[in-house]
A = this chain, B = another copy of it.
Amino acid sequence: MSATPYQQLEQEWRRLHAFRGALSLLRWDAAVMMPRGSAELRGEQVAALETEYHALLTTPKITRLLDRAKANSQGLEDWQLANLREMQRQRDHAIATPVMLISRLAKATARAENSWAQARRENNFALFAPHLDEVLMLVRDKAALLGQALNLPAYDALVDEFSPGIGTADIDGLFKALSRKLPGMIRAASEAQSGQEVLPLIGKFSSSRQRALVVEIMKAIGFSFERGRLDESEHPFTEGVAGDMRITTRFDAADPFTGLLGAMHETGHAMYDLGMPLAWRDQPVGRDRGMALEESQSLLLEMIIGRSAPFLRYLQPLLQKHYGATGPEWEFANLHLLMTRVRRSLIRVDADEMSYSLHIMQRYDIEKQLLAGKLAVRDLPEAWNAGMEQRFGSRPAGTVDGCLQDMHWAIGSFGYFPSYALGLVIAAQLWEALRTELPEVDTLIERGEFAPIFGWLRDNMHGFGAKLPIKDLIKQASGQALSANALLRYLQGKYLAETP
């Protein structure tokens, strides 16, 4: 008996999955292992495989098989139907973007990323501006083409690539609710904390000790080093496919927490990917349900669990064990003050969980204006500083701590930033539900017993892969529709419980 069109499609995607894995390894190696002089060669390899991937995904054969499979879908089960829908989605996105545009974008972003790094080193935005202009023009073309194909406004089409099923209407609603409350809450929390004396953690924390601590915690969380690795890189990231997950972090010898929290963030991503339905691991339906949910998992572990009192009770003896650290600054009370400090930092990655969303709103407003042509690249630094003044009450000293702090725009990732804020909102919803259904969660965390937590996440979210639309999945897992309320309740309870 010959294979059905649907079965043939699964076979095609098995091949695409192998390409994805190879591409992921090429990127991981470039950031972690590759000799410095090999960057150009690696760029050629990645471009060749991406072009081939795009070509395989957009052959007339795939289109024909998709049409035939949809016309004969009566016999398919739920998972297969969802898989077919995701295949169609991937193909529609790919075919909307001509390979020539992808190739030009790849080259322009490679140049822009270099010039961004140089502009940061020399605190000179002008070096970066023309390259960002070029990237922006190409991203505009891509957004227009995608929007046309998907029948979405241009910016929504970009968001849809990262987080299908989410649009500006959702984001605007969430940001409106958050911006109504957060500034006042931040002020109140800052005032409440103003009298606290916090002792700094001073010392030299070697990479090998930090690594040993992080590995112990990752193992407790459930990360498998039999099918994954932890390495160091300039910026933390997660690469790989289920079966070989590789995360990185960056250890700072003067700071015992940056490397740990970076690793917790990436472990959150990895645990999501490891929780996917194994039977579908090489198919589109067996993947994450977009970057908003990815960030919900990383921020749940880094921000909500990682800065919670029970986690710090679990962590405190581990700090003593690995750093031999003693003294009042290493006691639980001081650690807790340190990790829950509301600081109004002007740097996103240093932000506390209270003010984090404001950083994202700033970027969301600006990238929409850039894309629509309402803001010129040359005016970006001033627009950035004005926005920061309005949101945080002060301006950054230079563009390095201002509009040059993130690399997202340099690499063409317009429409990605909302994923972080959405992620935090969703993480708070999941956390609320998890605490109701697993009332002993604080005790478990304090004991370093993470299995029930990830069991719950797997049962309610991870295990569904991309089977459900994002909003249905959020509703199913958290019992609530997507809304900022859970995040606001969580922040209120944690930072302002004693405020009237």
Q: With A and B bound together, what is the CA distance between A41 and B228 in angstroms?
A: 12
Assembled-state Cα–Cα distance A224/B35 (Å): 9
Given the known inter-chain contacts A25-B29, A26-B25, A33-B33, please indicate yes or no for A243 contacting B38, CB distance below 8 A: yes
- Which residues of chain B come closer than 8 Å to A29, judged between CB atoms? 25, 29
A264 to chain B, nearest CB (A): 20
**Interchain CB contact under 8 A, A52 and B229:** no
* Nearest Cβ on chain B to A291's Cβ, whole angstroms: 23
B-contact 0/1 string along A31-49, CB 8 Å cutoff:
0011111101110110111
- CB of B19 within 8 A of CB of A225, answer no
CA distance A164 to B225 in the complex (A): 44
Asked if A18 is an interface residue, CB under 8 A from chain B, the answer is yes
A174 to chain B, nearest CB (A): 38
CA distance A42 to B18 in the complex (A): 8
Whether A161 is near chain B, meaning CB under 8 Å from some CB there, is no
Q: Give Cα A25–Cα B41 distance, bound, in whole angstroms.
A: 12
Contacts of A52 in B (CB 8 A): 15, 19, 52
Beyond A25-B26, A243-B41, A244-B42, is A225–B35 a contact (Cβ under 8 Å)?
yes
Taking the complex as formed, is A221 at the interface, i.e. its CB lies under 8 A from any CB of chain B? no
Contact B229–A37 (Cβ < 8 Å): no
Q: How far is the CA of A226 from the CA of B36 in the complex (A)?
A: 6
Residues of A281-331 contacting chain B, CB below 8 A: 282
Nearest to A227 among chain B residues (CB) is B37
* Contact residues, A188-240 vs B (CB, 8 A): 224-229
A21 contact set on B, CB distance < 8 A: 41, 44-45
Contact (Cβ within 8 A) A41 B244: yes
Q: How far is the CA of A51 from the CA of B22 in the complex (A)?
A: 14
Instruction: Please give the number of chain A residues whose Cβ is less than 8 angstroms from any Cβ of chain B in the complex.
Output: 35
Q: Does A178 contact B (CB under 8 A)?
A: no
CB atoms of B41 and A22 under 8 A apart: no
> What is the CA–CA distance of A282 and B228 in the complex, to the nearest angstrom?
33
Nearest CB in chain B: distance from A337 CB, A = 38
B residues in contact with A335, CB < 8 Å:
none
B18/A47 in contact, CB under 8 A:
yes
- How many angstroms from the CA of A225 to the CA of B452 in the assembled complex? 47
Assuming the A-B contacts A25-B29, A26-B25, A29-B29, are A18 and B44 also in contact, with contact meaning beta carbons closer than 8 angstroms in the complex? Answer: yes
Residue of chain B at shortest CB distance from A242: B41
The B-contacting residues of A in range 22-78, CB under 8 angstroms, are: 22, 25-26, 29, 33-38, 40-42, 44-45, 47-49, 51-52
Interface centre among A40, A48, A226, A241 (most CB of B within 10 A): A48
**A35 engages B226 (CB within 8 Å):** yes
In the assembled complex, the Cα of A52 lies from the Cα of B55 at a distance in Å of 12
Q: How far is the CB of A486 from chain B (nearest CB, A)?
A: 36
Closest beta carbon of chain B to A414's beta carbon, Å = 28
Residues on the B chain within 8 Å of A25, using CB:
25-26, 29, 45
Chain B contacts of A44 at CB under 8 A?
A: 14, 18, 21, 282
Q: How far is the CB of A56 from chain B (nearest CB, A)?
A: 8
Contacts of A26 in B (CB 8 A): 22, 25
Q: Given A25-B25, A227-B35, are A15 and B244 neighbors across the interface (CB < 8 Å)?
A: no
Known contacts A15-B52, A21-B45, A22-B26; 5 additional CB pairs below 8 A are: A19-B49, A25-B26, A29-B29, A37-B226, A40-B243
- Which 9 interchain pairs have the tightest Cβ spacing? A18-B48, A38-B244, A41-B243, A37-B226, A37-B227, A18-B45, A21-B45, A15-B48, A22-B45
Pick 20 A–B contacts, CB within 8 A, sort by A: A14-B48, A15-B48, A15-B52, A18-B47, A18-B48, A19-B49, A22-B22, A22-B26, A22-B45, A25-B26, A25-B29, A29-B29, A33-B229, A34-B244, A35-B224, A36-B226, A37-B224, A37-B227, A44-B282, A52-B52
